[in-house]
Chains A and B, each alone.
Chain A
Amino acid sequence: MSFVHQKKLTLFDYVNYFLLALISAACIFPFLYVLGVSLTHRSVYVPYSFQWFPQKWSLDAYAYILSSNSFVNALKSTAFITFFGTVLNLVFTFTMAYGLTEKRLPHRRWIYGLVVFSLVFSAGIIPNFLLIKQLGLMNSYWALILPALTNAWSLIVVKSFMDSLPQEVIESAKMDGCTDIGVFIRIILPLSKPAIAAFLLFFAVSHWNTYFNAVMFLTDSKKWTLQVLVKSLVLDNSAKTAGMEASIGDSSPPSETVRSASIMLAVLPILFVYPFLQKHFAKGVMIGSVKG
């Protein structure tokens, strides 16, 4: 739109810029507010009273949370699930997607049909729950990793990305006696770097954010993940079930600051990787086009 660029800003532009600024502000405002609460020093904290920002700052709430065993354990288990879950997601998704790009592969149609079927129909909560129980995975972190090893949407998106790669390179590598696995490792994976980056972040965020499966499969509160702990702390206001009752007394910071700090800690890693996320995610959505 270079033509339009040369013109001066009009009333239309000022109104548009103002509204967009307002919308953007609405997107970060809740964070800034909760961040402010989490940093309020106990000497200036007054329950039920509104402050624009803390009169006196303090990191006590964060120090308090990070010194509690239950929070540190939840952080560790969430990190474990996120790390191994994501690595396995990438392996399962990219190998299968490449296999499905081979149009002459016998039985490809019904293998792909199975994938698509899982996209439109699922057995539902109870049959999946009973399966995990039968497999003896209750209260195991693998109950959060194994049922989510890959998914139809990611496979379809990655496969269509691979379909768009230059076929001549692949054909010539096969001509040179490269096996399919060789082609996959030496040609497909290096060419798929943008897709790998996008899905690495996609899978990692989805593991970090998982809540319902954790509630359903991890009934032992010692095994809780970060999201379950934050839910219990903030929404149920129950430091007790969250395993933080031991040190609650005069020495602990106000519960509201602790609750807000727990939200910030659950969000921090995501805000930290967000600059990378945004770049690759948008690309991932483009690759997927309508298939969202």
Chain B
Amino acid sequence: MKSNELAVKKASSTVFGGLLRRRWSEYVKYRYMYLLVLPGFLFFVVFKLVPMWGLLIAFKDYNPIAGFGQSEWVGLKYFKEMFADEHFYSMLRNTLLINIFGLVFFFPLPILLAVMLNEVRHEMFKRINQSLVYMPHFLSWVVIASLTFFMLSVDIGMVNKVVRLIGLEPYSFLNDSRLFWGMLTLQGIWKDAGWGTIIFLAAIAGVNPERYEAAVVDGASRFRQIWHVTLPAIRPTIVVLLILRLGHMTDVNFEQVLLMMNPLVREVADVFDTYVYNNGILRGMYSIGVTVGFFKGFVGLALVMASNYIVKKMGHEGIY
């Protein structure tokens, strides 16, 4: 019995030792690879993984002066508080509606623009147009908000200057809460509708020219060529982008909202991130801030994973 046990022990130790030795030799073999990965790896640990620890603040009555250790555990108190708060539902509504506006008014435009650009027969004209419509993508939200100010504000806005010129009363577009979501969408369109064409133009570029020729031989008009050749070619791209977009329904462009927000439109402008910033960072209400941020991150994670799963199920390449 005893010798048996010993044999097993010996065998397992040599198997284990062999594994260890092989692993070790692999580590040695790839030592320079690890050296290359190391800086980036440390970055992800310190700046992406370590902050996860801060999520625990949602379950504590966090007092920045007393510190994390001295703060009391309160369980789900802040989650209950969040769900009982009317303000939470108005933020949820704003977030979803800003996204629905984007989905309805923004999403189709890059497709339309790409099809229009594809129909251009003068290479030079096409290239100049592309250069101009891509350009706003590279501007900061500060610059875009500033340009918006120079277009729409009451005192320096160009539109109101023209309105005064023709003898009408100026209108404060930027303080009207009914116009706020539309204005965010318009800014988004100005910034990124052109940029969004790139991926569709790439898909269209893959179409075999013979298919257009065949369509022309069959007497298809330009609209029918678009309908029967161009659009089917980019349909998979459209579907994938649409599903991935649905995975980001809880994301709102935070810098944009923060810059365009003012007390008169707060009711329709407040979203999760602005709440976290205003109440958490500026007013020091860390616990409720982390709770709201946690909720947003968690729902976002679920949506992204679901949309990525669907895209992969359909046989396309997902985001991971």
Contact = CB atoms under 8 A, between A and B. Distances in A.
Interface of A: 1-5, 9-10, 12-13, 16-17, 19-21, 23-24, 26-28, 30-31, 33-34, 37, 47-50, 91-93, 95-96, 98-100, 102, 104-106, 111, 114-131, 146-147, 149-150, 155-156, 179-181, 184, 205, 208-212, 216, 227-228, 230-231, 234-235, 256, 259-260, 263, 266-267, 270-271, 274-275, 277-278, 281-282, 285-286, 289-292
Interface residues of B, number: 103
Nearest to A264: B143
Given A3-B209, A116-B320, A99 B36 contact: yes
A43 B50 CA distance: 58
Given A1-B209, A290-B317, A124 B296 contact: yes
B167 interface: no
6 contacts: A24-B128, A26-B190, A49-B165, A125-B289, A126-B54, A234-B149
A19 B46 CA distance: 50
B317 A123 contact: no
Contact of A131 (B54, B140, B155): B54
Report the 9 A-B pairs with minimum CB-CB distance, sorted nearest first: A127-B54, A96-B40, A124-B293, A99-B37, A209-B140, A50-B161, A123-B51, A180-B32, A127-B51
A16 B43 contact: no
Interface string B28-45: 001011111101110111
A12 B223 CA distance: 9
Given A266-B143, A290-B240, A290-B319, A115 B212 contact: no
Contact of A211 (B36, B141, B161): B141
Interface centre among B140, B162, B305 (most CB of A within 10 A): B140
Contacts of B52: 123, 127
A285 B201 CA distance: 12
Contact of B164 (A49, A227, A282): A49
A122 B134 CA distance: 29
Given A31-B147, A124-B297, A125-B280, A290 B120 contact: no
Interface stretch (B8-16, B75-83, B254-262): B254-262
A123 B54 contact: yes
B233 interface: no
Nearest to B273: A125
Contacts of B150: 30, 33-34, 37, 234, 260, 263
A149 B46 CA distance: 11
Interface of A (DSSP majority class): helix
Given A127-B51, A209-B140, A234-B146, A290 B241 contact: yes
Contacts of B44: 114-115, 118
Contact of B135 (A27, A184, A209, A228): A27
Interface stretch (B84-92, B96-104, B111-119): B111-119
A125 B293 contact: yes
Contact of A93 (B40, B45, B199, B254): B40
Nearest to A5: B121
Contact of B36 (A95, A104, A149): A95
B51 A91 contact: no
Nearest to B285: A126
A271 B135 CA distance: 8
B53 A127 contact: yes
A121 B52 CA distance: 10
B33 A99 contact: yes
B259 A231 contact: yes
B140 A227 contact: yes
A92 to B, nearest CB: 5
Given A127-B293, A179-B32, 8 more contacts: A3-B216, A16-B116, A21-B129, A33-B150, A95-B37, A235-B149, A263-B150, A286-B202
B107 interface: no
B156 to A, nearest CB: 5
Interface centre among A28, A125, A227, A228 (most CB of B within 10 A): A125
B198 interface: yes
A191 to B, nearest CB: 16
B258 A212 contact: yes
B142 A266 contact: yes
Nearest to B207: A1
Contacts of A102: 30, 33
Contacts of A270: 138-139
A147 B142 CA distance: 21
Nearest to B305: A120
